[in-house]
C-alpha cells in the first residue's frame, strides 16, 4: 500500500485527475444545500421521511436533495432516463444504429447531444409535475408558500437548470477526471446518506423500536453482501487462445497461449440503475396524480420498493438490461475476427463463425449467472429488512462497491501506465548515454 501511495505521489497527471474528480464532486455536494425558492423545507422533509418509501428511494439517489428541495432535487435521474431511451433507440432505429457504428467519434457526439436534449425535456416534465404536486398539499401539509403559475415556472426553470448542471459535472468528471461521472455522482449521493442511515437505525435500537439482534444481523448482512459483490465482480471465465508457430521475416516465433477474460458481470452497475429509474417513473406519476384520481393510489402502492409487483418488475428489468447492455458493449463476431486475424484459435473450435458462436454461448451463460447474482443482491434484503434498507439496501451496496472497485482499477491503470512510461524514459536515457560514451571514446 505504501508503495502505491508513493507511486501515486510521483504521478502528477494522476494527482491532477483526482483533484478534478473530488473537486467536482464537492461542488455537486454543495449544490445539494441550495434550496429552491417558495417551498417550506421543513414540511417537505417531514412528509418525505414519514411518508411513502418511494420518495425515500428518490431522496437516496439525489443525495438528500429532494427532502431539502434544492436546485439538484431531480438529481441525475433525467439524464439516466434519456440515456436509456437513446440506448434502446440505437437498436430499434436503423439511422441511429448506423450513426453509432459508422459515425465514429462524430456519431457518438451527435448521440450524446440528442441525449442532452432528451434530458432537458424529461427534466422539464418532471419539474412541472413536482411543482403541481407540491401545490396540491400532499398529506395535508402546506408545502408551497405562494402557490400559482409563477411558482411552477420558477420551479421548472430552477430544477431543469440544476439537472443540466449535474449532467455537465458528470461529463467533466468522465473527460477530465477518473471514472464514470454519472456513476460517481450516484455513488456520492448514496455514500453521503449512509452515516445518517446507520445513526437512525441505532436510534431505533436505543428507543426499543428495533432489537439489537436485528441491528447486528443488518450489519452482518451488509458485510456479507459486500463480500459477495467483490467476489462476483472479480470472477472471470478465461477462454484459452492458442497461437501456432509463425515465421516473420527470418525469425520464427514459437507457439504461445493467451486468455480471453470474460467477466461474470459484464454490465456492471448499469442494470439496477436503469431498472430502478424506469420503475420510479410510474409510481411517481401515480403519486403525483393521486390527489385528483384516488384510484391511482393503489398503483402507487404497487410500485413501492418491497412490494411483490415492484420486486417482480425490478428483476425483469435487471435481467433485460444485463443482456441488453452486454450485447451493446461486447460483440463476439468482432472478437472472433480479431482472434482470426492475429493467427489465434480456440482449441477444438474452428476460427471464424464457430468461434463467434462459442464465445456467444459462453457469454450468454455468464450473463445469466450475472443477472441472477445482481437480482439476488438487489431483492433479497427486502425480505430480511422490510423498511430499513433505503440507504443500505442491496442496490445501494452494489452501486457503491461496484463504482468503488471500478474507480480503484482505473487508478491502478494510470499508475501502471505511469510506471511503464518512466521505464521507457529510463531505458532510452541509458541508451543515449552509452551512445555518447562510445562516440566520445
Predicted confidence band of residue 387 (pLDDT cuts 50, 70, 90): very low
147/39 Cα distance (integer angstroms): 9
Q: Which of 4-13, 17-26, 118-127, 206-215 has the lowest mean pLDDT?
A: 4-13
Predicted confidence band of residue 240 (pLDDT cuts 50, 70, 90): confident
111: cell is 448521440
Structural domains in the chain, sorted by start? 14-210 (1.10.3370.10), 218-381 (1.10.3370.10)
Give the pLDDT of residue 27: 93
364/370 Cα distance (integer angstroms): 10
Question: Sign of dihedral through CA atoms 56, 58, 63, 66?
Answer: negative
Closest to 269 in 3D by CA, of 356, 180, 351, 342 = 180
44: cell is 417537505
Q: What is the mean pLDDT of residues 52-78?
A: 73
Q: What is the mean pLDDT of residues 327-347?
A: 83
Give the pLDDT of residue 169: 93
Q: What is the mean pLDDT of residues 268-282?
A: 80
pTM (2 decimals)?
A: 0.76
Give the pLDDT of residue 104: 65
Q: What is the mean pLDDT of residues 389-396?
A: 60
Give the three-state DSSP class for 260: strand
Q: Which of 15-24, 137-146, 281-290 has the lowest mean pLDDT?
A: 281-290
pLDDT for 435 beyond 50: no
Predicted confidence band of residue 111 (pLDDT cuts 50, 70, 90): confident
Q: Which of 53-62, 104-113, 121-130, 173-182 has the lowest mean pLDDT?
A: 53-62
- 346, 239 Cβ separation under 8 angstroms: yes
The overall average pLDDT reported for the chain is: 78
Give the pLDDT of residue 276: 80
Amino acid at each position: 500500500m505504501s508503495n502505491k501511495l508513493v507511486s501515486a505521489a510521483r504521478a502528477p497527471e494522476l494527482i491532477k485527475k483526482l483533484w478534478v474528480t473530488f473537486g467536482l464532486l464537492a461542488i455537486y455536494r454543495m449544490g445539494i444545500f441550495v434550496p429552491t425558492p417558495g417551498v417550506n423545507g421543513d414540511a417537505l422533509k417531514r412528509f418525505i421521511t414519514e411518508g411513502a418509501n418511494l420518495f425515500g428511494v428518490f431522496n437516496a439517489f439525489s443525495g438528500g436533495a429532494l427532502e431539502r428541495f434544492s436546485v439538484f432535487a431531480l438529481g441525475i435521474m433525467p439524464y439516466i432516463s434519456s440515456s436509456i431511451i437513446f440506448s434502446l433507440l440505437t437498436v430499434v432505429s436503423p439511422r441511429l444504429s448506423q450513426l453509432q457504428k459508422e459515425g465514429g467519434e462524430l456519431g457518438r457526439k451527435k448521440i450524446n447531444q440528442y441525449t442532452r436534449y432528451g434530458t432537458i425535456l424529461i427534466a422539464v416534465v418532471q419539474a412541472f409535475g413536482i411543482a403541481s404536486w407540491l401545490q396540491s398539499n400532499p398529506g395535508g401539509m402546506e408545502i408551497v408558500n405562494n402557490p400559482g403559475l409563477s411558482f411552477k415556472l420558477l420551479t421548472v426553470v430552477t430544477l431543469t437548470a440544476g439537472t443540466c448542471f449535474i449532467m455537465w459535472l458528470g461529463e467533466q468528471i468522465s473527460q477530465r477526471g477518473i471514472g464514470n461521472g454519472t456513476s460517481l455522482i450516484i455513488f456520492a449521493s448514496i455514500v453521503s446518506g449512509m452515516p445518517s442511515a446507520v445513526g437512525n437505525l441505532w436510534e431505533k435500537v436505543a428507543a426499543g423500536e428495533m432489537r439489537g439482534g436485528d441491528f447486528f444481523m443488518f450489519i452482518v448482512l451488509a458485510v456479507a453482501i459486500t463480500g459477495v459483490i467483490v467476489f462476483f465482480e472479480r470472477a472471470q471465465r478465461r477462454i484459452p487462445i492458442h497461437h501456432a508457430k509463425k515465421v516473420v521475416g527470418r525469425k520464427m516465433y514459437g507457439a504461445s497461449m493467451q486468455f480471453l477474460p470474460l467477466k461474470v458481470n459484464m454490465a456492471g452497475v448499469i442494470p439496477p440503475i436503469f431498472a430502478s429509474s424506469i420503475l420510479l417513473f410510474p409510481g411517481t406519476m401515480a403519486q403525483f396524480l393521486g390527489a385528483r384520481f384516488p384510484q391511482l393510489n393503489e398503483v402507487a402502492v404497487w410500485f413501492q420498493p418491497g412490494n411483490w409487483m415492484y420486486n417482480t418488475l425490478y428483476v425483469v428489468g435487471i435481467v433485460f438490461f444485463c443482456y441488453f447492455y452486454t450485447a451493446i458493449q461486447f460483440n463476439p463476431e468482432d472478437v472472433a475476427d480479431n482472434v482470426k486475424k492475429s493467427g489465434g484459435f480456440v482449441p477444438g473450435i474452428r476460427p471464424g463463425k464457430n468461434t463467434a458462436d462459442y464465445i456467444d454461448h459462453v457469454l450468454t451463460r455468464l450473463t445469466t449467472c450475472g443477472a441472477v447474482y445482481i437480482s439476488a443482491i438487489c431483492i433479497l434484503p427486502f425480505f430480511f429488512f422490510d423498511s430499513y434498507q433505503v440507504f443500505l439496501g442491496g442496490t445501494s451496496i452494489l452501486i457503491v462497491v461496484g463504482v468503488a472497485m471500478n474507480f480503484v482499477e482505473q487508478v491502478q491503470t494510470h499508475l501502471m501506465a505511469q510506471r511503464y512510461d518512466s521505464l521507457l524514459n529510463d531505458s532510452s536515457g541509458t541508451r543515449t548515454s552509452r551512445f555518447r560514451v562510445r562516440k566520445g571514446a
